[in-house]
Structures are given as structure tokens and as C-alpha cells.
Amino acid sequence: MKPSGEDQAAPAAGPWEECFQAAVQLALRAGQIIRKALTEEKRVSTKTSAADLVTETDHLVEDLIISELRERFPSHRFIAEEAAASGAKCVLTHSPTWIIDPIDGTCNFVHRFPTVAVSIGFAVRQELEFGVIYHCTEERLYTGRRGRGAFCNGQRLRVSGETDLSKALVLTEIGPKRDPATLKLFLSNMERLLHAKAHGVRVIGSSTLALCHLASGAADAYYQFGLHLLGSGGLPREAGGIVIDTSGGPLDLMACRVVAAGTREMAMLIAQALQTINYGRDDEK
């Protein structure tokens, strides 16, 4: 099936339609580059830790997306994964802002593990308007637009609606820190959920695709500390779910932490079980 952002029953075009269509086309183009490069030799560098990787393809894809969007929308702002890693300030203002992760799942990409995605989000007045995620190896295009629903290749997505943690499959990611104190907290949080009789806790190596699985109903909850550039955070919301801060309050896109679930009950159960892992804020680095 040819990837399609939404089905024919979607509402009429909104004020950011041109931006949305540009994101869809660029995600598909970037996905072709990533898919081809997946099986090739790679030059790999590290960022904040030995487990925080970046490749020449990350930079190539990010440069492609930003250059194309900047040419079409010169007044817009950009927050991008590799630019931020190089020292660019992550400041989310009220201006239209693109949030770009060229390869979400770079460690997977380096090892040819086929769970990688390109993520392009768009925020206005510090609120996500849409997210476009392309699962490069499975050719699945996920989209979520404020008030218009979430879709995968044109098929509407729906969260599971599970409220009982003892019946839940929970997804998470480790984050870039590997110091003993951080790892102890990470493992303790997993242990707490397993003691609460969760069916399972999974780490798939891509926070963006974890949120896609949540929006699809294939998982019931997701949490992470150390999550940067949450451009895909609106997808579960548009599939009927909830996305909040790990404190239980509203989501803060710059806070580097998130809990998402199909129901508020599940989200609060997860949030209440977690110990905080401090990664600071993206806009203070």
C-alpha cells in the first residue's frame, strides 16, 4: 500500500495544510535515504555518551529536511536533534516551529536492526499541531493532526482503552545516560511496573515508534525520561489517548520526560509508580 497521511473521510484542510503536506513528502523522501543506507557501512560518532550515537545519514537527512522547509517557510523556527547535539539552543517559542528527529532509533540503524523512523513535528504557540512519522523499513506513514485524528497509511488509529495495569503492555526507552545511578533508577522503574503485575515492559529502541504502537493499540502505555524533541507526542492524543508529564501534570515539550497511555487512569497509574530521573530541560542546555 502506498503510504497516505489520512483517509478520504478526514475534515477539510486546516490552516497548516501546506506545512503538513510538505512534512509528509519530506518524511517519505528521507525514509528512502534511510532505508537504502540501513544495510550499508556507516561512519558512527558519539554524542553525550558511548550509547548516544550519530551517523552521517542522520546529518544528511536532517540537512535535507531543514533546507527544504526553510526555503518554503523562511519565517519558521527549527529545533532539530543533531543541531541540538552540536550546541544549537532548543527554545520553543510561540512562533511556528518544526521539531525534527532525522533518524529516531540511530542505535538500531547502526546495527541494522529494522526499527527506525524519521519524525517531523510542527508546533505553534508551544502546542503540537501535527506529527508525521515514517517507519522506514515497514513503509508505514503515521500522522496525527490536532482535532483530526491519527492515521497509519490512511487507516484511522485507536488506542487500546485499557485501564488495568495488570493487563497492560508498557513501552519505554533507556535514555542516553549510562551512569550507575541513572541505570539503577531506570531498572527500578521497570521493576515497580512488573511488581504491579504489568504484562510486560518493552524497549524497542525508538521512542517515536513506541508512541506509534501506543496509538495503534498494540501497547497500552509508554513512559520515558531523557526523551528529547517530542515531535510525535500528539499522535496518541489524536488516537484517543493522553500524553502528560511524568508528574501527572500537562505535557511540557522541553522537559525531557513523558507518560502516554490510552486512558487517563492508565497514565496516572504509570506516573505514580515512577521515580524521577533528572535529565534537565532541553531549553536550558
The predicted-structure confidence for 152-178, as pLDDT tens digits, reads as follows: 999 999 999 999 999 999 999 998 889
Query: Helix count (H) and strand count (E) of the chain?
Result: 8, 14
At residue 280, the pLDDT reads 87
Residues annotated in the binding site, as ranges? Answer: 81, 101, 103-104
Domain boundaries, the chain: 17-156, 165-284
**CA–CA separation, 170 and 241 (whole Å):** 14
Closest by CA position to 212, among listed 151, 165, 253: 151
How far are the Cα atoms of 84, 159, 181, 285 from residue 61, in angstroms, in the given order?
15, 30, 34, 24
What letter represents residue 154's amino acid? G
Q: Which CATH class is domain 165-284?
A: alpha beta
**What DSSP string describes 213-224?**
HHHHTS-SEEEE
**CA–CA separation, 75 and 242 (whole Å):** 31
Q: The pTM is what?
A: 0.91
| Residue 277 near residue 185 (C-beta atoms within 8 A) | yes
| Residue 130 near residue 146 (C-beta atoms within 8 A) | yes
Q: How confident is the model over 194-238, as pLDDT tens digits?
A: 999 999 999 999 999 999 999 999 999 999 999 876 788 899 999
Q: How confident is the model over 54-106, as pLDDT tens digits?
A: 899 999 999 999 999 999 999 999 998 765 555 566 788 899 999 999 999 99
Residues annotated in the binding site for Mg(2+), as ranges? Answer: 81, 101, 103-104
- Across-strand partners of 150? 144
- Across-strand partners of 78? 98
17-156: which CATH topology? Fructose-1,6-Bisphosphatase; Chain A, domain 1 (3.30.540)
Cα(first)–Cα(last) distance of the chain, in Å? 42
